[in-house]
Copies of this chain bind each other. A is one copy, B any other.
Amino acid sequence: MLPDALAALRQIFGDRASDAGAVLAEHGQSESLVTAGLPEAVVFPRSTNEVAALAAWSSLHRVPLIGWGAGTSLEGHALALAGGVAVDFREMAAVLEVRAEDRLVRVQPGITREALNQDLRTTGLMFPVDPGANASIGGMAATRASGTTAVRYGTMRDNVRALEVVLADGRVIRTGTGAPKSAAGYDLTALFVGSEGTLGLITELTLRLHGQPEAVMTAVAAFPSVGAAVDCVIATMQMGLTPARIEFLDADTVAACNAYSRLTLPPAPQLLVEFHGHPEGLAEDVRRFRDLAAEFGAEGLDWADRQEDRTRLWAARHSAYRAILASRPGAKAVVTDVCVPISALAQAVEETRADIAASGIPGPILGHVGDGNFHAILLVDPGQPGEIAVAKALAAQMAERSLRLGGTITGEHGVGFGKLGLMAAEHGAGWQVMGAIKAALDPLGLMNPGKLVPGQG
């Protein structure tokens, strides 16, 4: 970045534009093995107008802009591949308006999902999308995040009603309205959700809220095989039961959770299930699920309708990633993420387990199986490049298998540049269509360059 560009940046942001080494370094790291160069500057906008001025500045000086939320991406979404400015939204983190009758909330992008739900605590409403990490809402929208509750409440695709977006040229648009649905033209909201900062920067979001459930029941059930657990999930969905969460943990994951969270679950494939509803409907849901699980050979159906038992179980699930990391001291994780049609889920999980077993590195598997989505957490010794290569080969194999079985290369972690090399295989000529849309909205290629779309060179 040329000195006059930096000077112009400081004119917009004052001391909220920084090129201090520690600030750059903080915005050059990621929760993955993906590494890249540092940004040349970091800014902390406080308003849409500032972001719009920033975009105009970016076009004028030909400097890339990369949005930054909570830094929890697993695919290097927010890393500066070609220098440029990291746009850290931590100072745009307000709840702007709760519209209880419409079950909507208007927020700024920097708020985290936990802070949002804390804010909503007394309203009887909640924002259910839960990717595990305490990500920023803007980042979750930009990457089309989902997680454990998507099976009932949907992903960010389903829960973002409207957006304010600053385009590459500094224009500000609003997509969507406060109405629950619309047939008025192209669905720009859906286009920006999942666009990973490559088409514009999200400066405001209107989110759908859901009622806090009147009653909640949780169960954990151990199955004789992966196939039995998955078949139970298929039967559950086909019966029209709609669990709020239905999580799979393989035996290795269970063992890691037992050790880490001091549980005594049987070391077998498990389903961890939660139902939300009114007590009368719930009792029947639970009875039906219990019968189904027994049909598929489940044992130890440990139902937890007390808050403390529920908390203990879901705390263990939320700690699973750390538990798995702790199971191999000093290891780093290569976190995979595929999503297949549910009919292919048992095959996908079992073949993946066999590949991992043959590879010589540990790789517990867990997933949001109601959606066909699962992760292998591949544990590598960072000092051994051979192990990293093995893990990358396993990850590629998983993605290829997912495509072969009619699935996707990423259920919820997104493309970033970690999965850029797999996009052509999934989308074929559709990837070129994405590139054409990118070129139309960001002709200078300054919005998060090097991510998601084909190279523009």
Contact = CB atoms under 8 A, between A and B. Distances in A.
A426 interface: yes
A171 B429 contact: yes
Given A179-B372, A281-B284, A429-B173, A185 B434 contact: yes
Contacts of A145: 183
Contact of A185 (B150, B411, B413, B431): B431
Contacts of A280: 280-281, 283-284
9 contacts: A178-B341, A180-B339, A181-B339, A181-B411, A184-B410, A184-B414, A187-B190, A191-B437, A281-B281
B185 A427 contact: yes
A278 to B, nearest CB: 6
Interface in A141-179: 143-146, 150, 155, 157-158, 167, 171-175, 177-179
A356 interface: no
A281 to B, nearest CB: 3
Interface string A277-296: 11011011100100000000
A396 interface: no
Interface of A: 99-104, 124, 143-146, 150, 155, 157-158, 167, 171-175, 177-188, 190-191, 193-195, 199, 210-211, 213-214, 234, 237-240, 277-278, 280-281, 283-285, 288, 337, 339-344, 371-373, 402-403, 406-415, 419, 422-423, 426-431, 433-434, 436-437, 439-441, 452-453
A340 B145 CA distance: 27
Contact of A408 (B100, B177, B240, B430): B177
